[in-house]
């Protein structure tokens, strides 16, 4: 009974104080505020992203807000059926001023996390570390109805649900190319940019796998939605 009484008191205190506390919370720390692409990757932001994965309507609304703010261009598509069905998929066309080597099919959560990564990490880091704005992201694709590592048996890959994007490199506005396979191990500013961008990606995706993970990822960064900040 005593524990129940304390729980009730705690709930009452939270209900009474919440309206006064919320205006004081910085972006990314208000659990009740709608997610924005510019929210810093706090633990609250992570929980919001996980919650949106189970709420397609709310996730698409967050994407629409991001589109209105100029962070992403996308087309909402119909659900698909078959061996690898997709619910509320979208086709991502670009991330604000940053073009893509080609548009890609994505789950709503992947599109949202990718927009956050580009806006908060990949794009600003290019200007800061390489002296030229990020102009394009080259990728190897997202959706593929297959098992992990193309195995005949086993669990489905994240790509089978459009929950993963494989990034092969970056292109700057001055024309400079930063491919993962050729630049990852170089001890120069390009290699530094790739390492810093990859490191920051871990805060936006469920898992980030790079060249250090295994030989299968030697030429790209795998950004997926499973997990909770796995970074290898």
Chain segment 56-91, per-residue pLDDT in tens: 999 999 999 999 999 999 999 999 998 899 999 999
Reported as a pLDDT band with limits 50, 70 and 90, residue 14 is very low
Question: What's the CA gap between 43 and 40, in Å, rounded?
Answer: 9
Q: What is the arithmetic mean of pLDDT over 108-131?
A: 97
Confidence of residue 4 (pLDDT cuts 50, 70, 90): low
Distance of CA 65 to the CA centre of its chain: 16
17 has pLDDT over 90? no
pTM confidence score? 0.87
Find the angle CA(103)-CA(162)-CA(230) to the nearest 5 degrees: 110
Q: How confident is the model at residue 12 (pLDDT cuts 50, 70, 90)?
A: very low
**pLDDT category, 30, cuts 50, 70, 90?**
confident
Rounded to the nearest integer, the mean pLDDT of the chain is 89
Q: What is the average pLDDT across 143-156? A: 80
Instruction: Using DSSP, state whether 137 is helix, strand or coil.
Output: strand
Core vs surface per residue 80-93: b (16+ CB within 10 A) or e: eeeebebebbbbbe
Asked if the model's pLDDT at residue 23 lies above 80, the reply is no
């Amino acid at each position: 009974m005593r524990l129940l009484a304390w729980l009730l008191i705690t709930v009452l205190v939270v209900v009474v104080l919440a309206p006064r506390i919320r205006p004081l919370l910085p972006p990314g720390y208000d659990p009740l505020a709608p997610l924005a692409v510019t929210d810093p990757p706090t633990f609250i932001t992570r929980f919001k992203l996980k919650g949106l994965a189970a709420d397609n309507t709310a996730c698409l609304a967050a994407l629409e807000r991001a589109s209105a703010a100029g962070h992403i261009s996308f087309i909402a598509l119909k659900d698909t059926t078959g061996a690898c069905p997709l619910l509320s998929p979208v086709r991502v066309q670009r991330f604000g001023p940053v073009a893509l080597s080609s548009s890609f099919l994505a789950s709503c959560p992947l599109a949202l996390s990718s927009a956050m990564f580009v806006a908060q990490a990949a794009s600003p880091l290019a200007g800061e570390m390489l002296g030229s704005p990020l102009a394009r992201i080259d990728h190897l694709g997202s959706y593929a109805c297959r098992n992990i590592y193309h195995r005949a048996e086993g669990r489905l890959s994240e790509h089978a649900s459009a929950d993963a994007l494989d990034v092969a490199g970056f292109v700057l506005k001055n024309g400079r190319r930063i491919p993962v396979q050729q630049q990852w191990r170089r001890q120069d500013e390009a290699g530094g940019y790739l390492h810093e961008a990859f490191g920051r990606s871990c805060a936006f995706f469920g898992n980030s796998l790079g060249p250090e993970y295994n030989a299968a990822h030697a030429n790209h960064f795998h950004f997926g939605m499973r997990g909770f900040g796995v970074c290898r």
